[in-house]
Amino acid sequence: MSQAAVSDFVPADLDASSWENIEPLLVAMRDRGVENAEEFEAWLLDRSELEAAISEAAALLYIGMTCHTGDEGRQKAYADFIENVAPKVMPLGFALDKKQAALAKRFDLGDRYAILNRDTISSVELFRDENVPIQTELAKLSTEYQTLIGAMMVEFEGEEKTLPQMGVYQESTDRGVREKAWKSVSERRAKDADAISGIFDQMVAKRHSVAQNAGFDDYVGYTFKAMRRFDYTPELCFAFHEAIEKRVMPFVARLQARRKKDMGLDALRPWDLAVDPKGRGPLEPFDGGADLVSKTRRVFERMSPELAGMFESLGDGANDQGADGGASLDLDSRKGKAPGGYQYMRDRMRVPFIFMNAAGQHRDVETMVHEAGHAFHSMYCVDEPLMHYREAPIEFAEVASMAMELLSTPYWDAYYENTESLARARRQQFEGSLALLPWIATIDAFQHWLYTNPTHGRDQRAAAWLDLEQRFGHQGYRVDWSGVEQYRPIVWQRQSHLFGHPFYYIEYGIAQLGALGLWLKSLEKGEDAALDAYKRALSLGGSRPLPELFAAADLPFDFGDATVARLVERVEAELEKLPE
């Protein structure tokens, strides 16, 4: 690693949320004369530190907004930044990209900067002025979709409910309640199906134009470059689809058969898939955010003193409400907090922040260890001077988090003293890690079809979707849809990524295979070997190409049949060992 000192070009106390403060620094970067490799390296480090300051300003505003949704000042501060500062940063950022790409061709800084320069040069190559207004229109269409979805309400049990609120009824042990809830949600979605299809028709056409403007035959080629998929091809994605079809679908069929038997049903209906098949109540792993933290700390203490130390540095989770007092956790669900969970690195101080809405459920345990995995990743890269290298591509970043879910399972007795609950939680984790793959394959294969057939009509699109459902059987594998078939061709409209983040999805599949690979290593070579590999790969951040990150963790960068077959076999063997 380069020994270059961290930049002092950016004042330590810079408030980078204000355009007045950052504009002169961005302009100075743009206009600075760079005459040799040494000056180029200093320029890169200064740029990195300036971007870290801007990124941290955005992070703090975002954290403030999501932790205090009732605070108008914070809502406005974040909106101001997004509407008034970020759009001004963008063109200067692009000017800096162009300058950097040109300098990279003049001065060779060696392998250390290869990834950084590769990424910058490729975004400069992709840029087209005529695509800027199209991207704006696409962002507007995406907002229109979100508005339609967000406004969907159903009347249920005498109350107006949002669709996320309706989700809990799918876990009800009363089959009649599940059916009624499922049908009212599907009916509500169907009402807007034409409007959503209209939005999507425009999106596909506009994305195709973006690709053609940039010199590509179709949006697939454009996206692979824009998403920096330099190390895999559409053909490798197809190999993933085939492996899922061949190896995971029979596993899912066995799970469904077992579910049917456990529930004592002749046929599984679409509303029979999320409930506990044995009719048990919800798992109760902890009581409150501070309890979640103390139990999770016990898990990490038993895994490794190093992980425990990193986790402990985030605090005890008691009384944290936002990041104002320097806290790194805000875990408890409370009024005035945005939904969901995330890990957000504050790039200048280089300290992560974990946000979630813990309500005492098992999924909160999964979220906690998942986000802790992301935080470990950030902390293992903390000494890396270049911000770009402190972040790994998503295909590997999610290995850090998903692997932590699996590697922590041996210690989940910290949450579950009762052996039946413990076995149930582990079973759910192992089954879920494979059962998620067919949906990923469906969404990915659908997108390949959509954008290689950009002039398709709505009927063709529905037919293509139904073909994939047949193949990967999301909720369709041995599930009886009679009487509700009309809802099947529009199931894809639920997947918001198709609208707001095209093609972004297979990353989770690639990462899940990596996470399972690390877990397998812990079974075969012992936990210390797995955690060593984990640390070795995470410490590289994003400084190396994807195959090298996987190799550092002793993982094959392969998502085809050989990898998938081996993993499915091992997960099934582990499931066998769990008590019923």
State the minimum distance, in angstroms, from the CB of residue 342 to Zn ion: 8
Nearer to Zn ion, 476 or 509 (CB): 509
User: Is residue 177 within 8 Å of 169, Cβ to Cβ?
Assistant: yes
Q: Which is nearer to Zn ion, 290 or 292 (CB)?
A: 292
* β-strand partners of 332: 358
Residue 77: closest CA among 60, 55, 53: 60
Q: Which is nearer to Zn ion, 114 or 394 (CB)?
A: 394
Task: Determine the angle formed by the axes of helices 19-31 and 37-67, rounding to 10 degrees.
Answer: 160
State in angstroms the smallest separation of the CB of 374 from Zn ion: 6
- Spatial CA neighbour of 286 closest among 355, 364, 373: 364
| Distances, alpha carbon 391 to alpha carbons 140, 141, 394, 544, in Å | 28, 29, 9, 11
**Minimum CB distance to Zn ion, residue 401 (Å):** 4
Contact 537, 557 (CB under 8 A): no
**Cα Rg for the chain, rounded, in angstroms?**
24
Q: Residue 335: which of 60, 63, 69 has the closest Cα?
A: 69
Provide the 3-class DSSP secondary structure of residue 357: strand
Q: Which is nearer to Zn ion, 295 or 374 (CB)?
A: 374
Instruction: For residue 456, give both structure tokens.
Output: 């398709």
Q: How far separated are the first and last CA of the chain, in Å rounded?
A: 51
Residue with tokens 């990490």: 300
Pick the closer one to Zn ion by CB: 378 or 401: 401
- Which residue of this chain has its Cβ atom nearest to Zn ion in the complex? 401
Provide, rounded to whole angstroms, the least separation between the CB of residue 373 and Zn ion. Answer: 8
Of the two residues 58 and 404, which places its CB atom closer to Zn ion in the complex? 404
In angstroms, the Cα distances linking 456 to 442, 447, 450, 474, 525 are 18, 12, 8, 23, 50
17 versus 343: smaller Cβ distance to Zn ion: 343
Q: How far is the CB of 371 from Zn ion (least distance, A)?
A: 7
Residue 401 or residue 442: which is nearer to Zn ion going by CB? 401
Residues making up the chain, counted from first to last: 580
**In 10 A of CB 291, how many CB atoms?**
17
Closest approach, Cβ 176 to Zn ion, in A, equals 36
d(CA 255, CA 253): 5
Nearest to 341 by CA among 58, 55, 60, 63: 63
Nearer to Zn ion, 280 or 497 (CB): 497
**Could you tell me the two tokens for 557?**
């960068």
- How buried is residue 339: exposed, middle or buried, by Cβ count under 10 Å (0-12/13-18/19+)? exposed
- Cβ of residue 370: shortest distance to Zn ion, in angstroms? 6
Q: Which residues, 6 or more positions from 393, have their beta carbon under 8 angstroms from its beta carbon?
A: 228, 507, 542, 546, 549
Provide the minimum distance between the beta carbon of 433 and Zn ion in the complex, in angstroms, as a whole number.
14
Task: Give me the least distance between CB of 519 and Zn ion, in Å please.
Answer: 16
Nearest-approach distance from CB 407 to Zn ion, in angstroms: 15
Where does this chain bind Zn ion (CB under 5 A)? 401
CB nearer to Zn ion: pick between 172 and 409 = 409
